[in-house]
Structure 1
Amino acid sequence: MLKILFLSTSVGSLGSGEGGGVELTVQNLAQELRRRGHQLEVVAPNGSWLTDIPVTTIEGNLQIPVQTQSRDVPVCLPDNSVLANMWSYARQVQHQYDLLVNFAFDWLPFYLTPFFETPIAHFISMGSMTKASDRIMQQIIKQYPGTFGVYTQSQADTFPFAKECKILGSAIDLSLYNFNPNPQASLAWLGRIAPEKALEDAVEAVNITGIPLKIFGRIQNQEYWQEILTNFPNAPIEYQGFLATEKLQQELGKCLALLMTPRWIEAFGNVAIEALACGVPVIAYRRGGPAEIVKQGQTGFLVEPDSVTELVAAINKIGQIDRQLCRKQAEAEYSLKALGDRFEAWFTSLI
């Protein structure tokens, strides 16, 4: 049995959706490790919660999401930083654990690594974002080889230390997602509503096809959302909000396909495997993590990045996809057992 301390993302409370896909990774990995008998504590910002997993909450001000900033942004911490407070707590309790696991993609945890006595595993949830982070990460991986984990090779390749990254993939609790063989005439888009996700491309595509688009997720950038509504006043879109997994999978399963339109290199794209688990094919830009998930012509279509024309073409032939194959791919490649095997082996090697 391992004793492990998880330190969550510091851009939002767990359960809020502000942390994006890494929230789901923390939930699923914690659930699977506890099932295997490991002792686990999850530390996260105030207001956090996980299903059936106890969380120690820490007060303080949230970090600004790194993807909203430029590559040259200087290192900074807000007053009474929740990230600093979380790591101060970790320093106090570190000797109670065999391993600390950092899920915050921020400069500070990497910088602090040499000052801890308990080993730290860094799970990196995004591709390269800032020069400052890349620099300190490169220094730390030289001192502590093998301690960086990522979702995909596409994500790793954005860093100068790509060969040093452990590729660990992602997973979901498949028992929570029901296969739906009979979709309705609607499409889905799922994720944080922010410029780097390029929701406007999906809206433009359905404006052309006339097929309704159901939009799921937290509105992270209100100005961006209003701009979409202004630019496409008559588009057949319906905002469904940020839904809990049970309700989300019910609504997602009714859709013909999931559209993924990231403007940046998506580290993985948990929403893709959520869709596949429901039997929903995925139409995604051939960029980043989704390009390593979708099986072309079998479980969806990969199209030229930033091409609305190709999105439309793929939507028009989505009936060619066998929804049973989508569910089978999710079961074969993205189960919690498979995820647990990969992470357990990684953690054991670090200890």
Structure 2
Amino acid sequence: MKIAVLAHLKYPIGQPYAGGLEMHTHLLTVALKRLGHDVTLFASRGSDPALDPVMLCDPTGDALLDPEREAAIDRAEHDAYRRMMDMVAAGGFDLVHNNALHALPLQESARLGLPWVTVLHTPPFEALVRGIVQADPDMAFLAVSPSLAQEWATLVPDAQVVDNGVDLSNFAFNAAADASPYAFWSGRIVPEKGLHLAIDAARAAGLPLVFAGPKLNPAYWDAQIAPRLGPDLTHLGHLAHRDLAHHLGRARVAIVSPRWEEPFGLVVAEALACGTPVAAFRRGAMPDILDAQCGRLADPDDAQALSVAIREAACLSRRACRDRAEALYDASAMTARYLDAYEAVMARCAERAQPALRVAGGRG
């Protein structure tokens, strides 16, 4: 197939990844290419050149940190999506896979007349809802977790669930944690990821905390993280996947501390693949991913409860964690399910086109 993959334009699609969506888009693009499909990735500048992406604009995530330039960046982003849609319309594609978080591709989908798959990666927010309401009625919607599908159920009642996957060879199994025990946290260092609560919980549990991720919100860092820094904390910076997997796989326990309804949480699947048990807040998809053999859940925003979950999770079977990752979160299986969804939407579109062709032939 000739497939257009639409990325969001906030951050580049390349390592070190800004977050899970960037990693997922990169992983899927690579997997589809390896299977022989002709894939064009539309993304922002700075994306991995090995993917041969069409790069439309500078990353627009800076708008979140620069209110004075927000309007200009928003206009540039809108113009970039407009160019993206014009290129897709002229590109001779068989199918569009939409990972963007912008309304315009959805609003343009009916005009293009192509089979579309849109993957829901976030809870409903106003701009995305506006786009979905105006989308091609034949569009197929997929959600990355059962909990996220439920959040969208009123607007998209038939979203198919395709869990995110990880490259199990990159996140290799580590049968034993490091002899010097520590907890590990990774993600974007922003308020909704709750690193400050993970720090408090790790301290209460008596474990040093090693953490990694980009400092995307300086005000949050200055107000909540910097005052908590001490000898029991180690910030590794923004890591590529090889280094991330190395530190994650040696940890006694991984901490996941979302302060919003986490749509999936790839760091959880990555930890399980490494054999590292997880302690997390019970929010969003955390109960979907973790079971009692490989993780413990705590009441949201309760650092003391999370510290109890850390101590309990640290004693769980590392082999059980890896087994769950292999059974449920293998990227190869995820890609196969996407291909099934592609074939279904293409068949449905072809079937619906037949009556129109017969009518046209009869008129002739």
**TM-score normalised by length of structure 1:** 0.89
Q: 1:225 to 1:208 in 2, by over 3 A?
A: same
Partner residue, 1:71: none
- Say yes or no: does 1:175 pair with 2:169: yes
- Structure 2: give runs of 5+ residues left out of the alignment: 347-364
Cross-structure match for 1:26: 25
Structure ranking higher in helix proportion: 2
Counterpart of 1:201 in structure 2 is: 197
In structure 2, distance between residues paired with 1:134 and 1:17: 30
The Cα RMSD (Å) is 2.3
Aligned partners of 1:43 and 1:86 also within 8 Å: no
Map Cα deviations across residues 67-123 of structure 1 (whole Å, 9 max, x no partner).
x9xxxxxx9773652453244134234342101122111222222222223233211
Equivalent residue, structure 2, for 1:154: 147
Deviates more, 1:186-195 or 1:172-181: 172-181
Partner of 2:131: 136
Secondary structure of 1:283's match? Answer: strand
Distance 2:109 2:8 in 1: 16
1:221: Cα distance to partner?
Answer: 0.4
Q: Does 1:210 align with 2:206?
A: yes
> How far 1:125 moved relative to its partner?
1.3
Q: Which moved more, 1:84-93 or 1:147-156?
A: 84-93
Q: Describe how 1:1-351 pairs up with structure 2 within 5 A.
A: 2-15=1-14, 19-49=18-48, 52-60=50-58, 62=60, 78=73, 81-94=76-89, 95-130=91-126, 132-140=127-135, 143-159=136-152, 160-184=154-178, 185-234=181-230, 236-296=232-292, 298-351=293-346
Residues 11-20 or 282-291, more deviating = 11-20
Aligned partners of 2:81, 2:156: CA distance in 1, in Å? 28
Question: What letter matches 1:148 in structure 2?
Answer: F
Verify the 8 A CA contact 2:277 2:294 in the aligned structure 1: yes
Distance 1:349 1:77 in 2: 40
When residues 33 and 103 of structure 1 are mapped into structure 2, their CA distance, relative to the original with a 3 A threshold, is same
> Structure 1 residue 337: deviation in Å?
2.1
Could you tell me how far apart the structure 2 residues matched to 1:137 and 1:41 are?
Answer: 23
Q: Check the 8 A contact 1:4/1:101 in 2, yes or no.
A: yes
Could you tell me whether the CA contact under 8 Å between 2:11 and 2:22 is conserved in 1?
Answer: no
The one-character-per-residue Cα deviations of 1:131-165 (angstroms, maximum 9, x if unpaired) are: x432432342xx42452221012112222324221
Q: Paired residue for 1:72?
A: none
Question: What is residue 351 of structure 2 aligned with on the other side?
Answer: none
SS for the counterpart of 1:4 is: strand
Q: Report % sequence identity.
A: 28
Contact 1:61 1:79 in 2 (8 A): no
- 2:355 aligned residue: none
Counterpart contact for 1:168–1:343, Cα < 8 Å: yes
Shift of 1:10: 1.1
Compared CA separation, residues 108 and 301, structure 1 to 2 (3 A): same
Deviation at 1:177, TM superposition (A): 1.8
User: How many angstroms does 1:5 deviate by?
Assistant: 0.8
For the 8 Å contact 2:85–2:108, the answer to whether it is kept is no
Q: Deviations over 1:21-47 (max 9, x none)?
A: 111211221222222221111111011
Q: What amino acid sits opposite 2:21 in the alignment?
A: V
Structure 2: distance between partners of 1:44 and 1:38: 18
Match of 2:185, SS state, is strand
For 2:47, give the aligned amino acid: S
Amino acid at match of 2:158: E
Helix, strand or coil at the partner of 1:81: helix
Q: Work out the number of aligned pairs and report it.
A: 338
Q: Deviations over 1:271-324 (max 9, x none)?
A: 11111111101111111112100112x011122111212111112223430101
**CA deviation after TM superposition for structure 1 residue 203, in Å:** 0.8
Q: 1:253 deviation in Å?
A: 0.7
Q: 1:183 to 1:341 in 2, by over 3 A?
A: same
TM-score after normalising by structure 2: 0.86
State how far apart, in whole Å, the 2-side matches of 1:214 and 1:340 are. Answer: 32
Whole-angstrom CA distance in 2 between matches of 1:243 and 1:176: 14
Distance 1:266 1:117 in 2: 33
